[in-house]
Amino acid sequence: MSENRKRITIKDIAKISGISAGTVDRVLHNRGDVSERSKAKIKAVIKELNYEPNIIASSLSARKTYRFITLLPSFEQGGYWEEIDKGIDKAQEDYAMFNVAIEKRYFNQFDAQSFFNAVDDLEKESFDGLLMSPILREKSITLCEKMNKLNIPVVFVDSLIEEAKIVAYFGQPSYQSGYIGAQAASQQLPAGKSIALFRALRKGFIGANQTLQRMDGFLSYMREFRPDCSVINVELPLSTPDNISESNDIMRQAFDKKNNVGVAVIFNSTAYRIASFLDSEAIKDIQVVGYDTLTSNVYYLKKGIISMLIGQRPNKQSHHGIKALFNNVVMKQPVKRKNYMPIDILVKDNIDYYVNYEED
C-alpha cells in the first residue's frame, strides 16, 4: 500500500466531493438515509482515490463480536469435507483479529432427518452470517428465505441453488462438471461398451443437490453426443460394516460380462469404493471416473484403476466463502454472487503437482 493511499481520510473524501464528512461516513458504513446523487458522488471519489477504510480500527472500535455459523456434513479423516473444514479454520485465523468467531456445526449427509434437525436448530438462534452446504434443495431454499427476512447473509459452498436467497456461492458449476465428466468418460469408452452410472443411496432422499446437477449434466451430454451408448444406472448403498457384502453383490451384478461395461462413473468422492472392488476382483478392463482428491482416490488413480478425477479445490471454497461473509457483514461491501471454482481434470501424470501444491 502506498503512502498516499494510507493518508486518505474521510475528511479528504468529503472535501473533494463537496459533501459533509458525516454523510461520507454513512455511505461508507451503509447506514442512514443518503440521496442517490450524494452516494454516486462519494463513490466516484472513493474509486478515484482508491480508498480503503482501516478495517482493523473500525472493527475493533465497534466492540462487537461477529458470530458466523458453518453447517457442513460430518466427515472422516482424509475425506472431501475435511478439506472444506480446513478452509474454515484458515479463515478463522485470518479474521479472528476482527472480532469474528466461527462456530462449526455438522450433519449426517446420508440422512435427510439429520440435515432437517440441524436447519431447524439454526432457525431458533441469533447470529450474523451462515456458510452452508445446501445438500437438500427445498429445505435450503426455505431456510434462506427466513434468513433473508432476518437480514442474515447466507453463503453456499459445494453446490448452488439458483432460486435461493444467498449473497454468494463458491464451488464448481455442477451441471458443467457433470457434462465434462461425460465427455471424458465417453472418450475413454471402447467401441460397443456401456457406462455404469453409480449413485450413492441416502436415507430419506434420492440424492444430494450437487450430485443431481452433475448427473443432469452428464446425461445431457450423452443424449446430445453419444445416444448410441448404453448407460446402466446402479444404486449403491452407503458403505458400512453391515452392508459391505450387499454393496459388493450390487457391483458384481453391475460389472457382469453381459452388461459389457467399459467405464464406471460416480458423482461424489467415493470412486475408491468402486476401484477397490475392481482391484479385489482382478477386473482389468474397466476404468473409473470420479470426483475429488481423497487419499484413497489418488491411490487408485496412480494405480491406473481410476482413470480421471475431477477436482474442485474445497478448501478454497470455504475460505473464500467466509471472506465473503466478512466483507458483507463487517465491511458492508457488496460481494459477487457466483464464484465458480475451476473444473480441474486430474490424471496420474499430473496429480502430484495438484495435491502437493501449496500457496503462500
The 10s digit of each residue's pLDDT in 282-305 is 998 999 999 999 899 999 999 999
98 SS3 class: helix
Tell me the mean pLDDT in the region 77-93: 91
pLDDT of residue 5 exceeding 70, the answer is: no
- Which pLDDT band, with edges at 50, 70 and 90, does 280 fall under? very high
Q: Do 184 and 334 touch, CB atoms closer than 8 A?
A: no
What residues are paired with 37 via a beta bridge? none
> Which of 139-148, 167-176, 234-243, 330-339 has the lowest average pLDDT?
234-243
211-264 residue pLDDT tens: 889 999 999 999 999 999 999 999 888 655 566 788 889 999 999 999 999 999
Higher-scoring residue by pLDDT: 333, 337: 337
What domains, with CATH codes, occur in the chain?
3-53 (1.10.260.40), 61-170+314-341 (3.40.50.2300), 174-311 (3.40.50.2300)
How sure is the predictor about 4, in pLDDT bands with cuts at 50, 70 and 90? very low
Determine the Cα angle at 58 with ends 56 and 61, to 5°.
100
Residue 242 has a pLDDT of 60
Q: Report in angstroms the alpha-carbon separations of 224 from 7, 218, 220, 265.
A: 59, 10, 6, 18
What is the predicted pLDDT for the residue at 95? 86
Give the angle 275-281-284 at the CA atoms, nearest 5°.
Answer: 70
Torsion of CA 122, 128, 132, 135, to 10 degrees: 40
> And the C-alpha cell for 188?
475413454
Q: Which residue bears the cell 436415507? A: 203
Residue reference for cell 501424470:
349
Distance CA 166, CA 145 (A): 9
Flag whether pLDDT at 77 surpasses 80. Answer: yes
β-strand partners of 131: 70, 155
pLDDT at 323 over 80: yes
pLDDT of residue 341: 92
Which DSSP state fits 205?
B
Tell the burial category of 308 from Cβ atoms under 10 Å away from its Cβ (0-12, 13-18, 19+). buried
Supply the mean pLDDT for the chain.
Answer: 87
Burial pattern 295-304, b for ≥16 Cβ within 10 A else e, equals ebbbebbeee
